[in-house]
Amino acid sequence: MRDVSVIGAGMVKFGKYLDTSMKVLARNAVNSALASAGVEQKQIQAAVVGNAMAGLVTGQECVRGQVVLREMGIGGIPIINCENACASSATAFHMAWLYVASGMYDVVLALGMEKLYHADKRKSFAAIGSAVDVELMEQMIAQMNAAQAKLKAERAARGEAPASGGAGESRSMFMDFYANFARAHMQRYGTTKEQFARIAVKNHRNGSLNPLAQYPEVYTLEDVLNSPVIAEPLTRLMCSPIGDGAAATVLCASSIAGRYTSKPVKVLASLLSSGVDHSADEPGVVTRVAQQAYEKAGVGPNDLSVIELHDASAPAELVIYEELGLCEPGEGGKLIDDGVTEIGGRLPVNPSGGLLAKGHPVGATGVAQICEIFWQLRGEADKRQVANPRIGLTENGGGMVRGEAAALSIHVFGI
C-alpha cells in the first residue's frame, strides 16, 4: 500500500439553504478544494461521494454523485456513491484513500454533501430516524417517549418547564439515545449536567471563531442550562442542529504530493468498521477502532495535537473522550472542567465548533471534520488555530444498531 496525502480541502458555510440545490453547495465545496490543491478538474481520476438523506428529503436516489459532479463538468471517471448514515462522507474519504493507497489512481476527490432542511421538519427528522433498525423503530420510540414522560412528570413536580414533544416528531430520535447514555453516565460516574453544558459552551465559543460555522453565537453556561429541554438532561444548546452543506478533499499519492503543494497532510491511518454484539466488559466500537487506528498510525492518544469528533450531543463528546483513551472511564468530566480540550488546552477537541456549532449536515460531516484537521495541521485555521499541531484525528459515527454506532470511521493525520 502506498502512502497517501491530502493536498486540498474546501467546504461551504453550513446553514439553511432551502432555495439552493445540492448541486450548487457541492460545486462550491469542490471548486474550493481544487483551488486549495492546485488541481484542475481534468486531473481528478476518480471521485467518491458521501450522502445519506437525499433520497428521503429531496427524492434524488441512485446517482447522486454523478448528477452533482456532471453539473460542474466532472465526468468520464469512476464515481462511487457512499451512503453510511452520519459516516457517509468519512466512508467516502476512506474509499478514496483506498483508491490511492492501492495504486489504482493517483489523484482522487472525496466529497460529502447533504440537504436536510425541508419545509416539513417532520420529513427531516424521519430521514434522520431511518438510521436505525426500522423494524424496531416504533418500539424504540414508544420506549423513549415513556422514559421522557416519566422525567417530564418529575420536572413538572419540581415546577420546571417540560421537554419538547415526541421523538421523531419535534426532535431527532437520536437525541433520546444520547439522553439515555448521558443519564447512565451520570448515574455510574457522578457526571453532572453542568459538565455536559461546559462542552456546549466550549464548542459554541469555538464556532464563533469559524466563519464556516452554522451557529457562531457565544453562550454562557447559564444560557446552555436554561435553554429548552429536548430530552432530559439535554437542553437545546447541547444538541447538534440539522443543516445543509458540502465539504470536499483532494487526495493523492504522497510520492507526487510535492507537485501540487509544499504542505501536504499525510494520512497515517484510515479505518472504517461497524458495531458488533459484545458483553458489557468488552470495548465498544469507538474504542476498538481507535486502538486499531493508533496501532496503524504508530501513535497513541498522548501524541495527538488536535481532534475533531462526533459531538452530535454534548454528552457524546464527553463519552468519546473516554472511548478514545484520552482519559480513564468516568474522567471525561474532569477533562472539560480542567480546560484540557479547549483550543488553548493540552488537547484541543472540536476547534471548528464541532457538530454543536458548526452544524451537522449528515452526509457532509465526516469530510468537514477532515477539512478542519487539514487546515489546523497546515496552520491555516486563523483565530481558532491550535498551537503547533503535528498529529490530528477525526472520529465520525453513523447510525445506531443495538445500542452503538452502526458505522464508525477514524482517521489519523500528520505532518
Concatenating the DSSP letter of every residue in 5-46 gives EEEEEEEPPPB--TTS-HHHHHHHHHHHHHHHHT--GGG--E
Beta-bridged to residue 271, according to DSSP, are: 410
Q: Each residue of 93-147: pLDDT tens digit?
A: 999 999 999 999 999 999 999 999 998 888 898 888 888 888 876 666 666 666 6
Q: Each residue of 287-321: pLDDT tens digit?
A: 999 999 999 999 999 999 999 999 999 999 999 99
**Per-residue confidence at 183, pLDDT binned at 50, 70, 90?**
very high
**Per-residue confidence at 32, pLDDT binned at 50, 70, 90?**
very high
Which pLDDT belongs to residue 147? Answer: 65
Mean pLDDT of 274-281: 88
Q: Each residue of 185-216: pLDDT tens digit?
A: 999 999 999 999 999 999 999 999 999 999 99
In angstroms, rounded to a whole number, what is the distance separating the alpha carbons of residues 377 and 78?
30
Q: Each residue of 58-101: pLDDT tens digit?
A: 999 999 999 999 999 999 999 999 999 999 999 999 999 999 99
Using a 10 angstrom Cβ sphere, with 0-12 exposed, 13-18 middle and 19 or more buried, the burial of residue 397 is buried
pLDDT at 285 over 70: yes
Using alpha carbons only, how large is the chain's radius of gyration in Å?
Answer: 20
Residue 92 phi, psi (nearest 5): -60, -40
Mean pLDDT of 239-246: 96
Domains and CATH numbers, the chain: 4-119+244-267 (3.40.47.10), 131-240+270-414 (3.40.47.10)
In angstroms, rounded to a whole number, what is the distance separating the alpha carbons of residues 314 and 44?
38
Of these residues, 185, 360, 371, 411, which one is catalytic? 360
Residue of 86, 93, 63, 66 whose CA lies nearest to 77: 66
Q: Each residue of 135-181: pLDDT tens digit?
A: 876 666 666 666 666 656 665 666 666 665 555 555 577 899 899 99
Q: Each residue of 348-400: pLDDT tens digit?
A: 999 999 999 999 999 999 999 999 999 999 999 999 999 999 999 999 999 99
Q: Helix 137-157 and helix 174-189: axis angle, to 10°?
A: 60
Which pLDDT belongs to residue 159? Answer: 65
What one-character DSSP code corresponds to residue 326?
S
Q: Report the share of the chain in percent with pLDDT over 70.
A: 91
> Three-class SS of residue 164?
coil
Beta-bridged to residue 408, according to DSSP, are: 273, 397
> Three-class SS of residue 112?
strand
Residue found under cell 453513523 = 398
In angstroms, rounded to a whole number, what is the distance separating the alpha carbons of residues 358 and 350?
9
Q: Helix 88-101 and helix 365-377: axis angle, to 10°?
A: 60
Residue of 366, 368, 321, 365 whose CA lies nearest to 341: 321
Q: State how far the alpha carbon of 223 is from the alpha carbons of 99, 194, 338, in Å.
A: 46, 11, 20
86 a catalytic residue = yes
In angstroms, rounded to a whole number, what is the distance separating the alpha carbons of residues 141 and 292?
34
**Is the C-alpha dihedral spanning 313, 123, 407, 371 positive or negative?**
negative
In angstroms, rounded to a whole number, what is the distance separating the alpha carbons of residues 156 and 154?
5
Residue found under cell 458489557 = 280
Of these residues, 86, 239, 252, 371, which one is catalytic? 86
Enumerate the H helices of 116-237 as residue ranges.
121-129, 137-157, 174-189, 193-207, 221-226
- CB-based contact 97:86 (threshold 8 Å): no
Which pLDDT belongs to residue 150? Answer: 66
Which pLDDT belongs to residue 280? Answer: 81
Which pLDDT belongs to residue 143? Answer: 67
Which pLDDT belongs to residue 366? Answer: 98
Could you tell me which residues come within 8 angstroms of residue 365 by beta carbon, excluding any fewer than 6 positions away?
86, 89, 90, 112, 114, 310, 355, 396
360 a catalytic residue = yes
In angstroms, rounded to a whole number, what is the distance separating the alpha carbons of residues 148 and 231?
7
